[in-house]
Amino acid sequence: MISSRRVPIGAAVAARYPARAAARLRAAAAAAGPVVCHAGRPLLAGLVAAGLAVCRAGRRLLAGVAAAGLVVALAGCGGDSGEPPLPELRLRATAEQWRQDEVARQLGIALHNDGAAPVWVSRVEPDLPSFEGEAPVDTPALLPPNGLRVDVTVPYGTGGCAAAAEPSHVTVVARAEGDTRTQRVRLALPHPNELLNRLLADDCAAETVRRSVTLRFGDWTDLGAEGVRGSLVVERTGAATGTVRLHSLDGNVMYRLTYRQATPLAEVTAAAPVATLPFVASPLRCDLHAFAEVKKPFEFPVRVSLDGGSRLYTTVPVDDDDRTALDTMLRRNCGVPPAGS
């Protein structure tokens, strides 16, 4: 009579009790049907008289015994897929901005790799809750090890009006060099963030000014060697309340603006909604280095106050006619060939 006590299944036991071991395993296989190991490969039971496959995930696997007709499948069985774990990517990020980034309304996301091996970044996704319109960028950026910095520029959108920028992040899609598997890594930007706070304040000020007043350049008159005469037109909008005052109009690295000084330079009210500030634009620099390196040749900053409030910074919108009049005068008076020639 066969004892009812459990007989452990192992290579030594199967060798001692071959018939019993084979019978037990065949019965288990018949009841369970095909066995699927964690790696996803089915091990079929009952192939032939001894047709039996056994997989013990993550534990000791049975050795086959010819006398019992026992076949043990080792290949393809295990507690996981057999791939090594993803390597830890030691990355950090900061937000920077250079002059060329300001013109394009972009941020430089400075990525640092603090690990010992190079890391490839294929995508950078900014998450800036205080701005609308930020956009991801695909890029083949290689981050050297040991904290060296690589910048990836991303559009940051337009900021609203808030006291300070909310905590912000970037998500990067990255992989260690030599590994084909990518990881999504979420990195916090430093907070509080002085740069994001400044960009937010500038956008808020510009929007506040736009709601109250329209700024534009008027017609241009060529003065030959003296430059070109123009005017800044300040027009109060229907949404404005109180008096809007213009306190300053500045030139830039290429153009000098000369006009009558007054305090304020101009003001508009409900009774007098339009004011004009005449000026003359002339070259400030004519060296070829300035022509080659200038990033904002047509940016003209102004300071405006609304109904006695603080002075807000914005710039005068410049259209194609404005650019043509200014650039033509500048190149002629500086002796520089026309652009593209």
Q: What is the pLDDT of residues 213-239, one digit of tens each?
A: 999 999 999 999 999 999 999 999 999
Which pLDDT band holds residue 82 (cuts at 50, 70, 90)?
confident
Which tops the pLDDT comparison, 156 or 59?
A: 156
CB of 240 closer than 8 Å to CB of 306: yes
Query: Given this model, what pLDDT does residue 164 score?
Result: 96
Q: Residue 100 — pLDDT band, cuts 50, 70, 90?
A: confident
Question: Cα–Cα distances in Å, from 239 out to 142, 270, 273?
Answer: 50, 11, 12
Among 22-26, 84-88, 251-255, which is the least confidently predicted range?
Answer: 22-26
In the predicted structure, residue 145 carries a pLDDT above the cut 80: yes
Give the residue with greater pLDDT, 202 vs 47. Answer: 202
Instruction: Quickly state the pLDDT bin for 241 (edges 50, 70, 90).
Output: confident
Q: Comparing 83 with 125, which gets the higher pLDDT?
A: 125
Residue 59 has pLDDT above 70, yes or no: no
pLDDT of residue 74: 32
Q: What is the mean pLDDT of residues 72-101?
A: 75
CA-only gyration radius of the chain, Å: 37
**CA torsion 144→145→146→148, rounded to 10°?**
10
**Amino acid in the structure at residue 297:** P
Alpha carbons within 13 A on the beta-carbon side of 271: 0
Sign of CA dihedral 177, 182, 183, 187: positive
- Whether 96 and 126 have beta carbons less than 8 Å apart is answered as no
Examine the pLDDT at 44 and tell me if it is beyond 80.
no
Q: Kindly report the average pLDDT of the chain as a whole number.
A: 82
Quick one: pLDDT at residue 180?
94
Q: Give the β-pairing of 91-96 and 149-155.
A: unpaired
